[in-house]
A = this chain, B = another copy of it.
Amino acid sequence: MKRNVIVGQSGGPTAAINSSLAGVYLTAKECGAKTVYGMLNGIQGLLEGRYIDLSEHIKNGLDAELLKRTPSSFLGSCRYKLPAAEGNEAVYEQIFATLKELDIEVFIYIGGNDSMDTINKLSQYAQAKGSEIRFIGCPKTVDNDLALTDHTPGYGSAAKYIAISMKELIRDSFTIDFKQGMCTIVEIMGRNAGWLTAAAALSKDEDCQGPDLIYLPEIPFDIESFKAKVKDLLAKKISVVVAVSEGIHTADGTYVCELGNSVDFVDAFGHKQLSGTASYLAGYIAGEFGCKTRAIEFSTLQRAGSHVASLTDISEGFEAGKAAIKAADEGKTGLMVVFERTSQDPYKCGTALRDVNKIANDERVVPREWVNADGDFVTDEFIAYAKPLIQGELAPVMVDGLPRHLAVPDGLRERA
């Protein structure tokens, strides 16, 4: 590598996305890159000419360690959908003009499904126009729904946050013996893929009985069957704990949260913003059985909880960034880094490369056989798959009682 690298982060943050950024930066430097630029707010910021020189922020080993422990997207993010090249040449010409101006040799985009669509379009445009810039996708998503990869960096840390928090909530829920019992509904991220909600099962251990029911969005939600299950459980236990995905919906496709009229936002990709599922179900159960209920949403906390990140996840995030640079250094383009598990016990996993065209806009959901017949819990196969991903801790750098993060780059904070 002789010239410059530019890297961006896109979509929702994860606890591992900055570890991938550290992997990209340090490996690019090792490979001889002169300057490593960071787009502010992804491709949208690039179109506005907003980028930074990462060497001004990662000045030494301590900065790199802090970056690995920093929640959110260090460079900021966007949900900008790159239009098709046909009919939108001006957008592409602007991007490539900026890349030429910055003497860019390698373009790395750290993101999920939508971001891989961007890499796909840019690499195809580059090839059509004879550009030598290489475009490599670096995977991240808390949702774990990228195709062709065993799992995705960001998932393990969110799963660990969920497992730890579920364990704490379940313990708390047995505190008081309410007359009619108590039912806690915990709402977990995942619009179409239930990987995160399934992670609630990881809380089950010799010192924790785990949740009683788990409902994923892959399986139509039947409220009558749910009611009957909760009724049976309340007759036996003082506390019933249910994990539900924000995206659970009835057989006719109606989101459960829509039953409570809580949908109020549609993003640039046309995704509905979902929330209120737990609140709706808690109200429903309280109405049916007169028991105490709690509705809890892990909300943004589950993806921002860097203080309980999984070491496995943070390490793999770093490896993904490293592999992306290595691939580009070898002249490859239009590919995404994936993970391949070569051994389950002991857990062994390495990186490989796949055509980004086959990954973009495809969603990998939890296989039906990893959910029990009743559709209300996950199987041991899921546990065996997910458990290795939450192993190990990366001790936060604690200063004055709080985890220290790498300082926010200028240009993200205030309105332009």
CA distance A13 to B174 in the complex (A): 10
Given contacts A401-B160, A402-B167, A403-B167, contact A174 B413 (CB under 8 A): yes
The reply to whether B176 and A79 contact each other, CB–CB distance below 8 Å, is yes
Q: Is the interface of A mostly helix, strand, loop or mixed?
A: mixed
| Most B-side CB within 10 Å, residue of A184, A300, A301 | A300
| Most B-side CB within 10 Å, residue of A77, A78, A294, A401 | A401
Q: CB < 8 Å: which of B176, B300, B387, B393 contacts A172? A: B300
The reply to whether A13 and B167 contact each other, CB–CB distance below 8 Å, is no
> Of A91-99, A304-312, A332-340, which stretch is located at the interface?
A304-312
CA distance A73 to B173 in the complex (A): 10
| CB 8 Å contact bits of A190-211 with B (1 = contact, 0 = none) | 0000000000001101111100
> Of A51-59, A217-225, A232-240, A359-367, which stretch is located at the interface?
A232-240
| CB 8 Å contact bits of A389-416 with B (1 = contact, 0 = none) | 0111100001111111111100011110
Q: Does A352 contact B (CB under 8 A)?
A: no
Q: How far is the CB of A43 from chain B (nearest CB, A)?
A: 13
Q: Does A143 contact B (CB under 8 A)?
A: no
| CB 8 Å contact bits of A35-65 with B (1 = contact, 0 = none) | 0000001001000000000000000000000
The reply to whether A238 and B403 contact each other, CB–CB distance below 8 Å, is no
The reply to whether B175 and A76 contact each other, CB–CB distance below 8 Å, is yes
Indicate how many identical chains form the complex: 2
The reply to whether B304 and A300 contact each other, CB–CB distance below 8 Å, is no
The reply to whether B13 and A175 contact each other, CB–CB distance below 8 Å, is yes
Looking at chain A, what size class is its interface with the partner chain?
A: 35 or more
Q: Does A82 contact B (CB under 8 A)?
A: no
Nearest residue (CB) in B for A403 is B164
The reply to whether A296 and B300 contact each other, CB–CB distance below 8 Å, is yes
Q: How far is the CB of A167 from chain B (nearest CB, A)?
A: 6
Q: Does A124 contact B (CB under 8 A)?
A: no
The reply to whether B77 and A405 contact each other, CB–CB distance below 8 Å, is no
Q: Does A137 contact B (CB under 8 A)?
A: no
Residues of B near A202 (CB, < 8 A) are: 401-402
Q: Can you name 26 A-B residue pairings with CB atoms under 8 Å?
A: A13-B175, A41-B177, A71-B168, A71-B172, A72-B168, A72-B174, A76-B174, A76-B176, A76-B177, A79-B176, A164-B403, A169-B300, A171-B405, A172-B300, A203-B402, A207-B404, A236-B414, A236-B415, A238-B412, A238-B414, A238-B415, A264-B286, A296-B299, A308-B308, A391-B400, A392-B401
Give the top 10 A-B pairs by smallest Cβ distance, nearest first: A168-B304, A72-B171, A390-B401, A172-B304, A72-B172, A77-B175, A71-B168, A391-B401, A207-B405, A296-B299
Q: Could you tell me which A residues sit within 8 Å of B by CB distance? A: 12-13, 41, 44, 70-73, 76-79, 160, 163-165, 167-169, 171-177, 181, 184, 202-203, 205-209, 235-238, 264-265, 275, 279, 283, 286, 292, 294-297, 299-301, 303-308, 310, 387, 390-393, 398-408, 412-415
